Structure 1
């Protein structure tokens, strides 16, 4: 009798399990259905279950279909835009890779000084009678290079080229912050420096590619200000 009782009770968990599996399957199917499929299902149900004594105006159905078509089109355009963005990003990375070995100019506020001459330019908003390029190391030691060309009493406005041999100014090798100080009080004067692209790094977190530029270090590709660098002018500082 106990065996019969156990056998009589055993199908119940099985039925419950099958019910759970069906519910899970329905949930999965529902989650996999697209917004268009969901709309069509609801649209057909609306037509089938309308009040026969007061049917819905056909123009309302047309409006609904029109709205859904617009939504579907916008969704497709969004997918296409994302695809194009990925393709453009890949093309951009390939183009940056071709820069390895080329000279470029980048905007920067830091330099890695070695024995090599530093070529670059600063862009001044005003004419200045004093314009100094400052090299400041981590200890606070500061080295100054005047941007006023020899034989001139002022410089600017506009781009001011410079070519600095660190040895001429007693600047030892190391890492430096660079800035320009003028008698007009200009703040954050843009400084661009030329250097060879040694390598290009693609961050694993998906952020912008980074260029390793000789004499500068790693900079985002968005800091590139010029492709191709002409020979330094003879009248630079």
Structure 2
């Protein structure tokens, strides 16, 4: 697993697809070539008074060609996947020290910190409250009042609400509205962690914590 922080640069990316391919004796191409060799030998040694029907040869060649095409398609997909992974690494590396908006219900607060974000309401609500749950299960309520449907901005001041530590956020709306509004938060990317094998890049966002790359909703201008 690679970690990119501060102004670190990505110098080179080597994927498994760049390695020299090794011959596979069981590949569609190898089996087809072997079949053609055997077919030619059989034709050369067949009884001229009772020649072999070539229809079966054609059908088998078609099957080998289909297998070979399928293998080529799989290799192309693997190569494209490796390329996309490399592009993701380059993209996330450039996010260090940038402002982003991410979908997350996690919050990290300390003295003097202020968190900004918004929630998305599917319907208007007479009561909208952000609830913060700490590690002991205690709930700190931050009422926002009645709100219309759409984006509702919020600001959470650690000193004002005496917050210190990690919290899980949730949104309470009018009873009868059976959905959980999505929570989006703004923050600065402090670090990027890329997976060694499969998986997605993780962003360490100030005031939020680790967030998967696909949870980024917006990129702010410098």
Query: TM over 0.5: same fold?
Result: yes
State the match for 1:214 in structure 2: 206
Structure 2 unaligned residues grouped into runs of 5+: 1-22
- 1:41 alignment partner, one of 34, 43, 46: 34
CA–CA distance in structure 1, aligned partners of residues 77 and 37 of structure 2: 32
Q: Matched residues in 2 for 1:141 and 1:229: separation?
A: 37
Please name the residue that 2:138 is paired with: 141
State the superposition RMSD in angstroms: 2.4
What residue number does 2:153 align with?
161
Give CA-to-partner distance per residue, 1:81-131, whole Å, 9 cap, x none. Answer: 211210111011111100001110111121101222211011111110001
Q: Distance in 1 between matches of 2:121 and 2:114?
A: 22
Corresponding position of 1:176: 167
* Structure with larger Rg: 1
Q: Does 1:117 align with 2:114?
A: yes
| 2:109/2:163 contact within 8 Å kept | yes
SS at match of 1:129: strand
Q: How does 1:101-116 map to 2 (within 5 A)?
A: 101-114=97-110, 115-116=112-113
Whole-angstrom distance in 1 between the partners of 2:124 and 2:221: 25
What does residue 11 of structure 2 align with? none
Q: TM-score, normalised by structure 1?
A: 0.73
Q: 1:55 to 1:191 in 2, by over 3 A?
A: same
Q: Which runs of 5+ in 1 are unaligned?
A: 1-29, 149-153, 231-237
Q: Taking CA–CA contacts closer than 8 Å with sequence separation of 6 or more, which of the two structures ends up with the larger relative contact order?
A: 2
TM-score, normalization by structure 2: 0.78
Aligned residue in 1 for 2:191 = 199
Check the 8 A contact 1:143/1:171 in 2, yes or no.
Answer: no
Contact kept, 8 Å, 2:116 with 2:156, in 1: the verdict is yes
C-alpha contact (below 8 Å) 1:124/1:189 kept by paired residues: yes
More helix by share: 1
